[in-house]
Structure 1
Amino acid sequence: IVLIGSMSAESQKPGSSIYVAAKTGIEGFAPSLRKELSDRDIKVGLIEPGFTGSDFQYPEFPPEKQRELIEQHQMLRAEDIAVAVEFMLRQPRRCAVSMMRVETRRNHP
């Protein structure tokens, strides 16, 4: 099971309290679920992406601005998160990647 959280659970920007509450809940839920399911040989991982281009970023970051930020390595693409999910899922049975943060190489605006 791969859960998608957010680095916003840590950054806690003003105006995002509901989003932060939901993502912080996932952050606490993941290790608890991992412990509950470990005896059934089910792995649980949490990926916390950073600033990622999506419709969620509108209107502050319209598509043109998102493309620019992605080119400048200041914003992730959804495909970057998919690569992280694939990495997590491809680990051998004996290994579990329990948490992964995916960040941009440069600070975002």
Structure 2
Amino acid sequence: MSRSDPSRSVLVTGGNRGIGLCIARAFAEAGDKVAITYRTGEPPAELTELGCLAVKCDITETEQVEQAFKEIEEKQGAVEVLVANAGVTRDQLLLRMSEEDFSSVVDTNLTGTFRVVKRATRAMLRARRGRVVLISSVVAMSGSPGQSNYAASKAGLIGFARSVARELGSRNITCNVITPGFVDTDMTKVLTDEQREAILGQVPLGRYAQPEEVAASVRFLASDEAAYITGAVIPVDGGMGMGH
């Protein structure tokens, strides 16, 4: 899993925009073979230029996950590094939140991650090596009004990752979690100036994260230097989540 390897097969779910796109770019620029999944729209031309493989896949559908992995395995080999990034939000206050609002977010963010990790580790177990990185959120531990569904799903990733780390550690497979805070992406650009100021007031470093800063942490956890790190939760949040 080191950079002495000529190239690894990397999969980034939800890699067509935002943090996922930046993570995919970082691995591709380092010389890895990178596949991304996307659910809707078209993948950006940038990925094609970088030589990335874009596979349409809804991670809430087990059969689509299976077909995506088969295509990736045929075109770039078994996945050696999995970054489970795909996720959704359906924010609503608790008393107004429908069961569908809750279950759909959990099915994508938590159960969807279970689906891709289970499928990816099949080959990792045979190879007796692998890296799994899950993208959670600062709200997994701090909570957030109107995001009980999202926070629950992202908190669930931590317990899931630590269980996987204990199960698969003896096979040289690590499983870690990144908890980004507020990141400067298209999703946060739609916030009002008042909302942005309120958020920054909670961040000791006084600024948003850049997607590249999240990507750098992911690449570290996939490197040889992080071979003895597993079951860890790495905050990339400017100090926002301290104490949680």
CA shift in 2, pair 1:47/1:61, >3 Å: farther
Give aligned pairs, total: 100
CA shift in 2, pair 1:105/1:7, >3 Å: closer
The 5-angstrom pairing of residues 51-66 of structure 1 reads 51-57=182-188, 59-61=190-192
Contact preservation (8 Å) 2:174, 2:227: no
Matching of residue 2 in structure 1 with residue 130 in structure 2: no
CA shift in 2, pair 1:45/1:92, >3 Å: same
Matching of residue 82 in structure 1 with residue 215 in structure 2: yes
Q: Which amino acid aligns with 1:103?
A: D
Higher relative contact order (CA 8 A, sep 6+): 1
Question: Displacement, 1:56?
Answer: 3.1
CA shift in 2, pair 1:94/1:15, >3 Å: closer
Identical pairs, percent = 32
Q: Which amino acid aligns with 2:159?
A: G
Contact preservation (8 Å) 2:158, 2:233: no
Secondary structure of residue in 2 paired with 1:13: coil
Residue of structure 2 equivalent to 1:45: 176
Determine which structure has more spread, i.e. the larger CA radius of gyration: 2
1: CA distance, partners of 2:226 / 2:189 = 40
2: CA distance, partners of 1:80 / 1:93 = 17
Matching of residue 101 in structure 1 with residue 235 in structure 2: yes
In the alignment, structure 1 segments of 5+ residues that lack a partner are: none
In the alignment, structure 2 segments of 5+ residues that lack a partner are: 1-131
Structure (1/2) with the larger strand percentage: 2
Contact preservation (8 Å) 1:74, 1:105: no
CA shift in 2, pair 1:61/1:28, >3 Å: farther
* TM-score normalised to structure 2 length: 0.36
* TM-score normalised to structure 1 length: 0.75
